[in-house]
Chains A and B, each alone.
Chain A
Amino acid sequence: MLLAYVSVAVLTVLVIYVASRREDVRHGEVLSGGWRELRPLLVRLPVALLAAGFLAALIPERWMLMLLGDASGIVGILLASLLGAVLPGGPIVTFPLAMALASAGVGTPQLVALLTAWSVLALHRVMAFEIPMIGWAFVWRRLAVSLVLAPLAGLLAAWFLSVGR
């Protein structure tokens, strides 16, 4: 956790330093843009964390371990990929939920598969943004080639972890 704080802080300072050397960057404008993005998060984050915590406490740990735990193997990776594809909403919803699942015993490769499926398939995002903005002709081809990516990421993660041990 400390490493997370330090790495984000260092990069933030670095980016601000780079920006401050450019004369065309107005800091007030950037800050007000950042505040516009942060404001809704301050409402959504607590709500999402609470909902994810309650849901995770309701799901019996035994089921979670059986379906998505480390021992669930390839079946668990496939299930996690499916779950990731249908998780609704953006990062503010997904990350608290995924973290609640992780603390309830979801295995690391399964978690990698879940997050990858959510990143490339996210059906909610496809319907809300991608189809209206880019069109179905592009979207179905992209989805077709992306189906294998999440299980593959999960299997690769399992392999890396077994090699590292």
Chain B
Amino acid sequence: MMRREVHDMVKLMNQPRRTIPLIDGMTILFVIVAVVSGIALWVLHGPDRFASAVGDAGLLLLLVLPIVVMAVLMGAYVQRLVTPALARRWVGTESGFRGLLLATVAGTLTPGGPFAAFPLVVGLYHAGASLAVCVTYVTAWGVLGLQRVFVWEIAFFGVEFVLLRLLVSLPLPFIAGYLTLLLFRRRDRR
């Protein structure tokens, strides 16, 4: 059973990347939100306020777009250089400080969205990594993940804010890992 799951996950990881639809449910929802809130803004605050909001959004798009384009290009290369197999080799089965440290580094460097990171966690867990290591990995991928920082966060919030956020986030994967050890030690391997 477990062996089959691992096999499935390895297959999932090696699949060519899922093609992202041009327009999905979320896009449609946001078009609706934009139309409704745009009408509300026009009605409540007048056309001037509406026009300035549109202008601000356009300006922001011009500022952000070059960074997003460059960062997506960078991300495409990083994804080619750092494969899931490579990331899995870094994270061992240790769950001491060294194990958590390696999981943090791997999570920080894992490129791609949830479709790249979560199968890796399943693979790690079945390959014998402890629950604490897996939790540390997911937390590091979330709060420190460099791809998201470069594609999105720097473009929107600037380097100074990003550095502050990364600095306060450094201990978080370890805290999550040690809390897991503390609370779920006994059930760790189910």
Contacts and interface: CB of A to CB of B under 8 A. Distances in A.
A103 to B, nearest CB: 9
Interface string A113-141: 00110011010010011100110011001
Given A8-B74, A51-B33, A58 B61 contact: no
A89 B189 CA distance: 32
B15 interface: no
B159 A120 contact: no
B159 A7 contact: yes
Contacts of B44: 58
Given A1-B158, A53-B53, A93 B37 contact: no
Contacts of A111: 157, 161
Contacts of B179: 145, 148
A33 B81 CA distance: 13
A141 B81 contact: no
Contact of B155 (A4, A36, A160): A4
A48 B30 contact: yes
Contacts of B131: 138, 141
Interface of B: prevailing SS: helix
Nearest to A164: B164
Interface of A: prevailing SS: helix
A interface, size bucket: 35 or more
B179 to A, nearest CB: 4
A95 B151 CA distance: 11
B86 interface: no
A157 to B, nearest CB: 5
A71 interface: no
A66 interface: no
Contacts of A144: 183
Contact of B165 (A36, A40, A47, A157): A157
A99 interface: yes
Interface in A80-94: 88-93
A47 B81 contact: no
A49 B125 CA distance: 38
Contact of A8 (B70, B121, B142, B190): B70
A91 B151 contact: yes
Contacts of B30: 44, 47-48, 51, 93
B76 interface: yes
Given A11-B74, A95-B156, A129-B114, A116 B172 contact: yes
11 contacts: A7-B154, A18-B81, A43-B22, A50-B38, A53-B54, A88-B26, A102-B157, A116-B143, A119-B143, A134-B122, A138-B131
Which A-B residue pairs are the 8 nearest by beta carbons?
A34-B76, A54-B37, A119-B142, A51-B34, A156-B168, A145-B179, A129-B114, A12-B74
